[in-house]
Structure 1
Amino acid sequence: MLRSWSFLRLWTGATASGLATWALPFILGLAALERSITAVELGVVLAARTAGFLVAVPVAGVLADRHSRRRVVLWAGLVSAVASPVIALGLGRSVLLMAAAAAVVGAGQGACRPAFQALTAEVVADEQRQPANAALTISVRVTTLVAPGLTALLAVAVDTPALVVATGVLWLAAALVPPSGARQAPTGPTAGTRFSADFLDGIREARRHPWFLAGLGALTAVIATGYSATGVVLPLVSRDRYGTEAVLAAALTAYTVGALVGALVVARWKPRAQGWAALAGLACYGFAPLSLLLPVPAAVIVAAYVVAGLGIELFNVPWFTATQREVDPRALARVSSLDFLLSYGLAPVGLALIAPAIDHFGPGPVLAACAAVCFAAPALAALVPSARGFRVVR
């Protein structure tokens, strides 16, 4: 099944959307280094993109359950493809134009996420979904590992606006390449019902799965604390404790390599208590803030980031697979949108709060608290009976 033409098209479209999503902040960062935009303008544009993402995710969840998931992917990709060159047009001219276009791109990105999740369940048979989800996440990790150097090389020959336009081409591929799913007619809510009622139906479906609520709570806690703390503190530790930026680069690379290895492992590994194993993997992120807290050799920090990356994919792949298996197909996009809305949506909140907390309490207490949350939240989620296998036994 994973060698089928349909899955190859799905994988290619999802990879193109992931690459476009990753590339824009990096390219705009290059523009800031070139002084085409200021650091403040960069922050405004990226914040606008995040806002567009958060607004679009719940809307897209409802639309992808009302209509064809393939159609939602198509329009989301086309919207982002059209808006991307507008960002390039605004570079060095109008931050307002850039921010507005970035919000539209973010909306397209947000609309793609739940629709792709639901489309995967339509294209891939149940027994093949875990390796399929692993293959999809491997493409993201390889992109993260290879793309920075490739983009930097391209920047030598191509100017920054052209690179931004290139992300629009990637969005065009994400719109046009994916296949149609098995569902030919809407089986979810009809267009005549109210959006709020449809979204609340999705929440009710999520509540039918206690393992989902527990896992989502643990994931959100880890991202809002551990991920945010390490994002702020790692550059400071690299500079102040070790006197070099090499530790920062090595730790981030180690995280990606660990995640890549984790995805390769979980493509075939199906433990009996899969939910518990996944939550244990999620808890491994606690080693990242713990390593920054302690006066350890730089190699220990790098190793901790390998373990954190490995663990996060041991969680992600079974998590996505279980959601696609257990949730009512008619509500899958809405439940997936709830997942992305909380886990990714609260990450900026965590980043905004971590820096003031460090200024007030110091990095030590903040890192200790974040590490404790990363270990405790998955452990508490594992206490929910249905969390053992990520399924409700009826």
Structure 2
Amino acid sequence: MASTPAPTTADSKAPQARSVLRDPAFLRLWAGTTASGLATWALPFVLGLAVLHRDLSAAGLGIVLAARTIGFLLAVAVGGVLADRHSRRAVVLWSGLAAAAAAPLLAAGLGSSLALMTAAAALAGAGQGACRPAFQALTAETVDPARRQQANAAMTLAVRSSTLAGPALTALLAAWLDTATLLLGIGVLWLAAALVPGRGAAAGAAAASAAPSADADAAPDTGPAGPAAPRAGFRAEFLEGLREARRHPWFLAGLGALVAVVALGYSATSVALPLISRDRYGTEWVLAAAMTAYTLGALAGALVIARLRPRSQGWAALAGLAAYGVAPLSLVLPVHPLAVVAAYAVAGIGIELFNVPWFTATQREVAPDKLARVSSLDFLVSYGLAPAGLALIAPAIDAFGTAPVLAVCAAACFLMPAAAALVPTSRHFARTAPSAAD
């Protein structure tokens, strides 16, 4: 299936006259995404409170969080296939309901059954994983192409705001509510994520785009249609999504660069920053300030990219991704702590200068009936390799030292996006370059 062409300047003016933030259908989708983000980021914090209250051991916390991650990774691929096979809205509904059902099970197992909590965490992770590609595809159904970059920026603002508001709101509520009640509150958030979003205005686009054209059916009718062809199996449909991803060299190149930054750069800074904050600067302030600066930088980056339209959007996005390298680089040498904080802010800005065009290009270029499967591949690879990076960085630091490992990770963050930019279609994140009118 041919890629959907980018809208011309003349075509994009009319839809942009009305902000996507004034579209009720998008606002419902945005509210659902925000609720899911708050629930996602609040759960580890609430489980941490359970450890402080001695309702859960530290080892138990690790098991429960690992179960949630495994549930996510197993469900994200399944969710991609289901969201292309069925209604994206239905997948959001049932995955949100599954995550909501996990909350009372977590509360019931608190302090009494680690096995029940582990199973419930896996269910919560499965709900979270299944809804991610469905939300991505539902955004494309709800918002017209000219406003999708603005919509994706608003979505990432919701996600980044959740990383700040989720733990802060949970800590505030913890002064009045016990851990079990907070877990039930997370279930309420998942109910909102399941029930609030509406059906996309282009819900039938995928089916319509996959249907044969009228010209193809020009042959005379020779009789009643035969039985419908049997649907391909799950494995075949998943592999079809992989083939669709391979049709877009810019996607594979960008995904490779993203994996390098997540598995090396992000993992290295996650492990090394607490150690350096403690050992080099003798205070936890650097850790807290750097992580806050990263989130605030990401919020600023989302605001900028909501309106910024670089002519070579792929190269600009990859440059933003490469900017993450300044974070591990700032930890190599004993610089002033404010330099570390500033580097994390730059990294946060850069990551959203990549994320928003990346999501927008995927929604524009990938065949509509395969969008959820390709999006699930994105989440599966990037999220799946992050734990591997975290597991390998600490032994590498023990074996080679902090500075050499951070230097290698910083170099990878700079070089991998640069290598991705050499792929011809990466310049515009499109198989064909936009016309002069665009």
The separation in 2 between residues aligned to 1:191 and 1:243, in whole angstroms, is 65
**Once the 2 structures are TM-superposed, how far is the Cα of residue 185 of structure 1 from its aligned partner?**
8.1
Partner of 2:334: 295
Matched residue pairs, number? 394
Conserved in 2, the CA contact under 8 Å of 1:67 and 1:185?
A: no
Conserved in 2, the CA contact under 8 Å of 1:118 and 1:333?
A: yes
Partner of 2:167: 148
**Once the 2 structures are TM-superposed, how far is the Cα of residue 128 of structure 1 from its aligned partner?**
0.3
The separation in 2 between residues aligned to 1:185 and 1:219, in whole angstroms, is 29
Aligned mate of 2:310, from 239, 262, 271? 271
Partner of 2:242: 203
The separation in 1 between residues aligned to 2:199 and 2:168, in whole angstroms, is 34
Aligned mate of 2:359, from 314, 320, 326? 320
Partner of 1:304: 343
Partner of 1:243: 282
Partner of 2:24: 5
Q: 1:186-265, aligned counterparts within 5 Å?
A: 187=207, 192-265=231-304
The separation in 2 between residues aligned to 1:166 and 1:247, in whole angstroms, is 32
Conserved in 1, the CA contact under 8 Å of 2:271 and 2:390?
A: yes
Partner of 1:100: 119
Conserved in 1, the CA contact under 8 Å of 2:141 and 2:205?
A: no
1:163 counterpart letter in structure 2: L
The separation in 1 between residues aligned to 2:83 and 2:390, in whole angstroms, is 30
After superposition, what is the alpha-carbon deviation per residue over 1:138-191, rounded to whole angstroms, capped at 9, x for unaligned?
111122223322211110100011111111100000000101012248626987
The separation in 1 between residues aligned to 2:296 and 2:88, in whole angstroms, is 32
After superposition, what is the alpha-carbon deviation per residue over 1:237-263, rounded to whole angstroms, capped at 9, x for unaligned?
011111110110000000000000000
Partner of 2:415: 376
**Once the 2 structures are TM-superposed, how far is the Cα of residue 33 of structure 1 from its aligned partner?**
1.8
Conserved in 2, the CA contact under 8 Å of 1:211 and 1:386?
A: yes
Partner of 1:183: 203
Conserved in 1, the CA contact under 8 Å of 2:325 and 2:347?
A: yes
Q: Percent identity?
A: 70
Conserved in 2, the CA contact under 8 Å of 1:66 and 1:186?
A: no
The separation in 2 between residues aligned to 1:109 and 1:154, in whole angstroms, is 23
Q: 1:336-355, aligned counterparts within 5 Å?
A: 336-355=375-394
**Once the 2 structures are TM-superposed, how far is the Cα of residue 192 of structure 1 from its aligned partner?**
2.5
The separation in 2 between residues aligned to 1:328 and 1:53, in whole angstroms, is 25
The separation in 1 between residues aligned to 2:101 and 2:57, in whole angstroms, is 24
Conserved in 1, the CA contact under 8 Å of 2:293 and 2:348?
A: yes
The ranges of structure 1 where at least 4 consecutive aligned residues each deviate by more than 6 angstroms after the TM superposition are 188-191
2:145 counterpart letter in structure 1: D
Conserved in 1, the CA contact under 8 Å of 2:38 and 2:165?
A: no
TM-score norm. by structure 2 comes to: 0.88
Partner of 1:280: 319
Conserved in 1, the CA contact under 8 Å of 2:39 and 2:166?
A: no
**Once the 2 structures are TM-superposed, how far is the Cα of residue 31 of structure 1 from its aligned partner?**
1.2
The separation in 2 between residues aligned to 1:388 and 1:191, in whole angstroms, is 40
The separation in 1 between residues aligned to 2:408 and 2:148, in whole angstroms, is 36
2:119 counterpart letter in structure 1: A
1:251 counterpart letter in structure 2: A
The separation in 1 between residues aligned to 2:32 and 2:140, in whole angstroms, is 15
Conserved in 2, the CA contact under 8 Å of 1:28 and 1:42?
A: yes
Conserved in 1, the CA contact under 8 Å of 2:69 and 2:125?
A: yes
Partner of 1:59: 78
Question: Per the alignment, do residues 4 and 283 of structure 1 end up closer, same or farther by CA in structure 2, a change over 3 Å counting?
Answer: same
2:315 counterpart letter in structure 1: W
Conserved in 1, the CA contact under 8 Å of 2:93 and 2:195?
A: yes
Partner of 1:159: 178
**Once the 2 structures are TM-superposed, how far is the Cα of residue 365 of structure 1 from its aligned partner?**
1.1
The separation in 2 between residues aligned to 1:320 and 1:50, in whole angstroms, is 22
Verify: 1:121 aligned to 2:160, yes or no: no
Conserved in 1, the CA contact under 8 Å of 2:257 and 2:416?
A: yes
2:203 counterpart letter in structure 1: R
After superposition, what is the alpha-carbon deviation per residue over 1:260-310, rounded to whole angstroms, capped at 9, x for unaligned?
000000000000000000000000110111111111010000000000000
Question: Per the alignment, do residues 318 and 130 of structure 1 end up closer, same or farther by CA in structure 2, a change over 3 Å counting?
Answer: same
After superposition, what is the alpha-carbon deviation per residue over 1:60-83, rounded to whole angstroms, capped at 9, x for unaligned?
111100100000000000011111
Question: Per the alignment, do residues 328 and 262 of structure 1 end up closer, same or farther by CA in structure 2, a change over 3 Å counting?
Answer: same
The separation in 2 between residues aligned to 1:313 and 1:240, in whole angstroms, is 31
With 247-256 and 361-370 compared, the bigger mean Cα shift is at 361-370
The separation in 1 between residues aligned to 2:30 and 2:160, in whole angstroms, is 13
Question: Per the alignment, do residues 291 and 82 of structure 1 end up closer, same or farther by CA in structure 2, a change over 3 Å counting?
Answer: same
Aligned mate of 2:94, from 75, 78, 84? 75
Identify, as 1 or 2, the structure richer in helix: 1
Question: Per the alignment, do residues 244 and 191 of structure 1 end up closer, same or farther by CA in structure 2, a change over 3 Å counting?
Answer: farther
1:342 counterpart letter in structure 2: V
2:67 counterpart letter in structure 1: A
SS of corresponding position for 2:425: helix
Aligned mate of 2:404, from 355, 365, 371? 365
